[in-house]
Amino acid sequence: KKFARKEHLTNHIRIHTGETPYQCTYCEKKFTRKEHLTNHVRLHTGETPYHCTYCEKKFTRKEHLTNHVRLHTGETPYQCTYCEKKFSRRERLTIHTRLHTGETPYHCTYCSKKFARKEHLTNHIRIHTGETPYRCTYCDKKFTRKERLTYHIRLHTGETPYQCTYCEKKFTRKEHLTNHVRLHTGETPYQCTYCDKKFTRKEHLTNHTRLHTGETPYQCTYCSKKFTRKEHLTNHLRLHTGETPYQCNFCEKKFTRKEHLTNHVRLHTGETPYQCSYCQKKFTRKEHLTNHTRLHTGETPYHCTYCEKKFMRKEHLTNHVRLHTGETPYHCTYCPKKFARKEHLTNHVRLHTGDSPHKCEYCNKTFTRKEHLNNHMRQHSGDNPHCCNVCNKTFTRKEHLINHMSRSHTGERPFQCDECGKSFPLKGNLLFHQRSHTKGQPMERPFRCDMCPKDFICKGHLVSHQRSHTGEKNHHCPQCSKSYVERGNMLRHMKKTHPDAVIPVLPKLPHIKVEPKSGEYSSGSPAAPPHLIGGGPADAPATAKPPTIGSARPPSSGG
């Protein structure tokens, strides 16, 4: 290597020899060049001899002032010979040029990894050594990189020095502002070389590219599971450690992920920042808006590679694909049963634990599944949204209407026994029939009475049985003094003894809001379907007569 000046050669040779003749009198740190010592000493003395004439900012080094002034003047004297991009600082051009040449001059001595920038090598080495030289003066948290400490401190101070010129939103980090501005400009500078998809952020391109390459560089040290993204590994590790660093200020509930806390807090504040441009409905979460919008556009971006079926939501495709592959990744810890979907496992586990977390606020009845509570609530509201178009009979649940149509009108028997070929209109009929093929074999009875050794096939049978212990008779005949454990027994009594009497309905509480599943319409929406809004018969004219024992229930006023 050649040099124009002798002192440059001298300084360069010291890189080879390791000579550091200049020592700091404050901390004894040594340097190869005198100007490096001078700049370092100013960190101790606080001297800032170089002043900006535009904003009066001060600097310890002349080159820092020069680079800073170019922010005011807009001067970019260093141009890339490959793509003609310009830079205000020479070292930025050098680093940029390495993107074109692929040069990585900085080598890690621990793992032989190479880097284009020296500071990247320095930061990387700290992963091996565990060194965290930058400490927060507010909370004593330590960091491997100075800029991470700077960003962290802004969480304490609330400083947001970077402001968007389009909407005046402020940010703690410059790259966050840069990414935000692209939402306004539509700029997508990062393009995938596999499928030409474009992205506003480099890390989004990196993560996307791994979908093509299959690369999973982040591995869990507990179970060896691998991930394409570091944040996915971080979130996964918390499942092992139980760490929940994000806490709600309203109810002190804790979360493993920040976005889960953000979504949860909106339940307290009522904030719905995501609005549909088609019907003005608002949502607390962006993904709920995305899924909802597809109801308007009909977009089905997720395609099954086995049968070409299309889906609006990724999780629906994932669940569907498991029907083809037979994959059942969710295992019950109580019994050997496996499930393709997590929610199915959750519901199944409640059969073992007896947990029924969904409680009716009107009669205190509890349910293992939310949709069962929703169906039950319609008994209180009198809401029968599903109407048979043959006989006008109405039902609170869609599956009851389907069963009614199959049994009463179409004669359809879609459920066939694999053993003998016999068909049935209802799945429940098939399940009971199949037991005739397994006589003499033990039958699963997951519902156990805690008052006697009896076991039951379904929860309803257990509940009925338990009333025989308690003597509870909640269903009273309005015509006489008789009471019954089961409503069905009471109705049979009335039909036989009081055939002309009016059917006693469950307490009607108008305008009960039946909570929809995620992504469905809510009763507060102007476009909400009628079957999700409380009312029904409670809103009917006063002249409407209640049904008698021998009559079919008339359709609700909503049709």
Give the mean pLDDT of 311-339. Answer: 88
Give the mean pLDDT of 368-382. Answer: 76
* pLDDT tens digit sequence for 399-415: 777 777 766 766 667 77
Task: Say if residues 501 and 480 touch (Cβ distance below 8 Å).
Answer: no
Helices then strands, counting H and E runs in the chain, come out as 18, 34
* pLDDT tens digit sequence for 244-301: 988 888 998 899 888 889 999 998 998 998 899 999 899 988 889 999 999 899 898 8
> Tokens 């006008």 label which residue?
392
Domain boundaries, the chain: 300-353, 456-504
Predicted confidence (pLDDT) at residue 16 exceeds the cutoff of 50? yes
φ, ψ (nearest 5 deg) of residue 261: -65, -45
- Residue 76: pLDDT band (50, 70, 90) is very high
Predicted confidence (pLDDT) at residue 377 exceeds the cutoff of 70? yes
Task: Say if residues 485 and 500 touch (Cβ distance below 8 Å).
Answer: no
Predicted confidence (pLDDT) at residue 470 exceeds the cutoff of 90? no
Q: Judge if 300-353 and 456-504 fold alike in CATH terms.
A: yes
Give the mean pLDDT of 393-404. Answer: 73
Predicted confidence (pLDDT) at residue 486 exceeds the cutoff of 80? no
- Please give the pLDDT value at position 521: 36
Give the mean pLDDT of 73-88. Answer: 91
For residue 16 the two structure tokens come to 């080879």
Largest CA distance in the chain: 118
Predicted confidence (pLDDT) at residue 494 exceeds the cutoff of 80? yes
Rounded (10°) CA dihedral 408, 409, 411, 414: -90
Predicted confidence (pLDDT) at residue 144 exceeds the cutoff of 70? yes
Distance CA 48, CA 44 (A): 11
Amino acid at 373: L
Bridge partners of 79, per DSSP, are: 86
Predicted confidence (pLDDT) at residue 128 exceeds the cutoff of 70? yes
* pLDDT tens digit sequence for 112-125: 889 988 888 998 89
* pLDDT tens digit sequence for 342-364: 888 888 888 888 888 888 887 87
- Residue 181: pLDDT band (50, 70, 90) is very high
Task: Say if residues 397 and 376 touch (Cβ distance below 8 Å).
Answer: no
Give the mean pLDDT of 55-63. Answer: 88
Predicted confidence (pLDDT) at residue 541 exceeds the cutoff of 50? no
In 3D space, the residue among 556, 172, 528, 253 whose CA is nearest the CA of residue 384 turns out to be 556
- Choose the CATH number for 456-504 among 3.30.360.10, 3.30.160.60, 3.40.50.80, 1.20.1070.10: 3.30.160.60
Task: Say if residues 295 and 313 touch (Cβ distance below 8 Å).
Answer: no
- Residue 459: pLDDT band (50, 70, 90) is low
Give the mean pLDDT of 503-532. Answer: 41
Task: Say if residues 540 and 546 touch (Cβ distance below 8 Å).
Answer: no
- Residue 526: pLDDT band (50, 70, 90) is very low
Cα angle 290, 291, 296 (rounded to 5 degrees) comes to 90
- Please give the pLDDT value at position 53: 92
Give the mean pLDDT of 519-543. Answer: 37
Give the mean pLDDT of 310-320. Answer: 89
Q: Which of 164-178, 204-218, 530-544 comes out lowest in average pLDDT?
A: 530-544
pTM metric for this prediction:
0.42
Give the mean pLDDT of 217-226. Answer: 89
Query: Does CATH place domain 300-353 in 1.20.1730.10?
Result: no
Mean pLDDT of the chain: 81
